[in-house]
Amino acid sequence: MHKRLRRLWEPTPTAPFNPYAGRDDRRTVSAKVVSGLRLGGGLVAGFLVVALASAAVSSLPAGAPAFGQYALLASWGMLVLSTILVFWTVNWWAPYVPAFFFFPAIPKTLALILIGPNPHSSIPSNRLTRSEATELLVYCVAVIALTWRFVGHRPAPTTFVDRLALTFFVLVTLKQVVTVYHWPPVPLISGLAALLIAYWISRKARAQTLPIASAPG
């Protein structure tokens, strides 16, 4: 247990999005099936954790009414549990962050900018104005740029600062999802600031190690 906790403090190899892309995959069919099942199970588990965290942040600070007098305790319990799970598994799901913001978010914001909002829609995101959609587009592009280092055959390792920043980013993003959008979007700005700090620290650490690695014998 102590060794596992110490590993969280040290840089952890980030799991590649697809470790066999561009390579000669000589695994057996059964091995590929097992790998696919693990990937599917991980996606389902991740969805459940996100749903748990979303339920927690949407019910605070009042508490989840379904639990009666234990509403506040239940909400904080769900938040603590989901935070631990998200923090512990950052090195597994970090490569999916750019894809999540690129595929669902960017096309929708571009559509809102080009076509305009639908004031009669029951979906809040469809009622965003063009200026609000532009703000979200810039935000999505910034998130993709700051997390792109976790994508590729040799993604950047996940440091302790990355774990803190990405966990905080996920929680505040979920808070923004369940909150009516208005300027300034404090959760989005604070989450982006956390990613920017982690990115800056990563670049600074890399700049310090490169001269050492390139120094002669």
pLDDT for the residue numbered 214:
47
Q: Domain segments of the chain: what residues? A: 29-88, 92-205
- For residue 46, give the H/E element and its range: helix 29-59
Structure tokens at 106: 């960017």
Contact between residue 174 and residue 117 where contact means Cβ atoms under 8 Å apart: no
Per-residue pLDDT averaged across 153-179, rounded?
Answer: 91
Q: How confident is the model at residue 162 (pLDDT cuts 50, 70, 90)?
A: very high
pLDDT for the residue numbered 166:
95
Per-residue pLDDT averaged across 2-26, rounded?
Answer: 70
Q: Crossing angle of helices 29-59/160-177, nearest 10°?
A: 60
pLDDT tens, position by position, 186-197:
899 999 999 999
pLDDT for the residue numbered 126:
80
7-26: b or e for each residue (b if 16 or more CB lie within 10 Å)? eeeebbebbebeeeeeeeee
Long-range contacts of 103-110 (CB under 8 A, 24+ apart): 105/136, 105/140, 106/137, 106/140, 106/141, 109/133, 109/134, 109/136, 109/137, 109/140, 110/137
Rounded CA-CA distance 184/190 in Å is: 11
Per-residue pLDDT averaged across 177-187, rounded?
Answer: 81
Q: How confident is the model at residue 11 (pLDDT cuts 50, 70, 90)?
A: confident
What pTM was computed for the model?
A: 0.83
pLDDT tens, position by position, 112-141:
999 888 887 777 778 888 888 898 899 999
pLDDT for the residue numbered 211:
58
pLDDT for the residue numbered 38:
73
Q: Which of 39, 6, 50 is nearest to 171 (CA)?
A: 50
Contact between residue 16 and residue 95 where contact means Cβ atoms under 8 Å apart: yes
